[in-house]
Chain A
Amino acid sequence: MTRTLSYLEAIGEALSQELERDPAVFLLGEDNVGGTGCDGKLGNAWGPTKGLHERFPDRILDTPITEAAFVGAAVGAAATGMRPVVDLLFIDFMGVCFDQLLNQAAKLRYMVGGKASVPMVVRAMWGAGMRRGAQHSQALYPMLAHVPGLKVVVPAFPDDAKGLMTAAIRDDDPVMFFEHKMLYFSRGPVPEEPYEVPLGTARIVRPGSDCTIVAVGRMVHEALAAAEDLSAAGQSDCEVIDPRTISPLDTETICDSVRRTGRLVVVDEANRRCGFAADIASVVAESAFEHLRQPVRILTPPHVPTPFSPGLEDAYAPTRHQITAAVLSGLRQPASA
């Protein structure tokens, strides 16, 4: 049965159902329970873990502000029979525990010749738009996708958020799970029963015929808005693809689309230099070059940190109008000519 949930609720439901199903699953992070060590009410969690401690009191742990220790502990617990879901809160904080991700979680299995595995999930908020400034608004998933041994997932819709979280928890490798903070209260249909969205599968969110737009996270919604505008104006019929998983990447769905449309615009909120958009463009240039009718267009923020002042921040990430302009600037023929 499908009903409407928010992105935040969908993630919470995945956590709840997996805690129910598998006693090895447990959650840890700052304020995951909330109220530990305080005199007021326990359970003031600030994210999707709200209310879970009542049903699973032994399996949700509040941590001190000790990311190096508790992310490292998640690695150690995962390697010794448990399946932790650790909350890093903001991906911007990965700096304080980067060794645990880069050199421990990602590499343990390889360095011991396959005799250990690290079935853990690291959840974190990402993305600009909440006026949190440069240290609380970053994307950073390209840096993690760059590391062999990690998997990286970036859902754009509530149903994908639930399915990918379920899949991430059941996955036997370390998965970085990115939750866009501006999408937390977006709503959409979400099936009630437990289900997985397989990692490494892209989604054609809007089928189309004469331009492929690959977009990630909040940019998927911007791309859809641009596609609707272009369609309404009779100017282009765009296919919008959401990779959903950054690593492993579903290159085939993307290349297949470009082989059909001949045009590619990539829209990403992550930084441009050595970024995810560049990765998509290079994959297509390598595998579908002869099908391209024009150069690949990439839209990303400029090479700047995220500003605070609302007007400046709103000018930071690509917008639907910029996407529309990028599609139109490349078209040599309108869709229905």
Chain B
Amino acid sequence: MTAISASTDSRTAELLAAYRTMVTIRRFEERVHQDFADVPLPGAVHLYAGQEAIAAAVCGRLAADDYLASTHRGHGHAIAKGCDVTAMMLEIHGKAGGLCGGKGGSMHIADFDRGMLGANGVAAAGAPLACGAALSAKLRRSGQVAVAFVGDGGANQGAFAESMQLAAVWQLPCIFVIEDNGYAQSTGSRFHLRERQVAARAEALGIGADIVDGYDYFAIEAAAEAAVQRARNGGPSLIECRALRFFGHMEGWDSQDYRPPGEVDRLRSEQDCIELFRRRVTADGQVRPEDLAAIDVEVAAEVGAAAQHARQAEFPQPGELLTDVYVSY
């Protein structure tokens, strides 16, 4: 996928693909939310619903062999990067056949065959990894780029600051995408960022930075396209987006008392990025409503089948405890 398509047919196809990605993420997260309570699911899951436009718009500009390093909230990035939904469900359930064989779970979900370098349990730890993938691409002259997603909370980590510095000094083909979803666990970004934008830090280092509306697929897409081109020509960028998450920090443990009453209801009715996208692409006739409706049906079936399969699948064999620590030891 290179420049934003000029031709109507391929642009329509792009828009339908973007819609499919966002709806898949939304349905997937809603199903995981339900299964977490019902099954119940083991461990910790952190849901991405509300932020779909960011993952879809950024990944829509990437080639299949470009790299992406994620946060602990990685399902949306994984889906947008093309990871198999059934294998993802299996992984989140801790079942054999999961994307990581059940060894990583939601917080470490990864698919190196698709350049998805993993969700990460340590805030901002994806940033150095993405710098490494970008460095690898630069040394091999492959033209690949690497995206590092970092949350508002993770943006305060030293590892992130250092990663920007390294990317600037070495002019790495790296794109930092800051997702301010309003809260670092239960602490508002208004406090921990002191009302200042992360983008200013990038600019201070000579890294071009864009601040865009995190609910606006098209604004993010334009910024992402510019960032990808800059990266392919050999230089880092930063894109900062704010889009509040619909669910809590983590399933099952977060009563979300720190959010103002009615905030999530208001987001779902007024700031749903998928609804905003739907309205925009159908308003000017680029996309037919019935095609979007068809995608809704297909995705619901796909996600439902994946979840059902995961519920019934086997857990890994006990011997898997001991495998894949080393290549050889």
Contact = CB atoms under 8 A, between A and B. Distances in A.
Contacts of B248: none
Interface in B15-47: none
Interface in A245-275: 248
Contact of A64 (B130, B137, B166): B166
Given A68-B128, A76-B132, A151 B117 contact: no
A113 B98 contact: yes
A231 B38 CA distance: 73
B324 A110 contact: yes
Given A80-B67, A148-B325, A113 B135 contact: no
A64 B169 contact: yes
Contacts of A116: 110, 112
| Most A CB within 10 A of own CB, among B110, B131, B134, B326 | B326
Contacts of A99: 122, 125, 159
Given A109-B325, A111-B118, A112-B118, A79 B129 contact: yes
Given A69-B166, A111-B104, A76 B326 contact: no
B328 to A, nearest CB: 7
B101 interface: yes
Contacts of B159: 68-69, 72, 99-100
A270 B234 CA distance: 45
A154 B251 CA distance: 45
A201 interface: no
A32 interface: no
B12 interface: no
Interface in A191-225: 200
B327 A173 contact: yes
A77 B110 contact: no
A52 interface: no
Interface stretch (A55-63, A135-143, A289-297): A55-63
| Most B CB within 10 A of own CB, among A58, A71, A112, A172 | A112
Contact of A113 (B100, B125, B146): B100
A111 B163 contact: no
B102 interface: yes
A26 B324 contact: no
Given A69-B165, A81-B140, A112 B104 contact: yes
A266 B248 CA distance: 53
Contact of A66 (B100, B130, B165): B165
Given A66-B162, A69-B166, 7 more contacts: A73-B131, A76-B146, A80-B137, A103-B122, A110-B325, A112-B99, A171-B328
Contact of A173 (B129, B130, B326): B326
A74 interface: yes
A171 B328 CA distance: 8
Contact of B129 (A72, A112, A115, A171): A72
B82 interface: no
A112 B133 contact: no
Contacts of A153: none
A108 B166 CA distance: 22
Contact size class for A? 35 or more
Contact of A115 (B110, B158, B326): B110
| Most B CB within 10 A of own CB, among A68, A70, A71, A119 | A68
B129 A81 contact: no
Given A64-B165, A79-B112, A72 B132 contact: yes
B263 to A, nearest CB: 33
Interface in A98-128: 99-100, 103-104, 108-117, 119
A75 interface: yes
A248 B163 contact: no
Given A66-B165, A68-B162, A112-B108, A149 B132 contact: no
B165 A111 contact: no
A108 B135 contact: no
Interface in A75-105: 75-82, 84, 99-100, 103-104
Contacts of B108: 111-112
B103 interface: yes
Given A61-B170, A99-B122, A77 B128 contact: no
A63 B131 CA distance: 13
B324 A73 contact: no
A123 B162 CA distance: 20
Nearest to B142: A81
B121 interface: yes
Interface string B272-290: 0000000000000000000
Interface string B120-160: 11100101111111111101100000100000000000110
Nearest to B129: A76
| Most A CB within 10 A of own CB, among B121, B132, B140 | B132
Closest 10 CB pairs of A and B: A76-B132, A72-B128, A113-B101, A114-B324, A69-B162, A73-B132, A76-B129, A172-B327, A66-B162, A111-B104
Interface string B197-222: 00000000000000000000000000
A78 B129 CA distance: 10
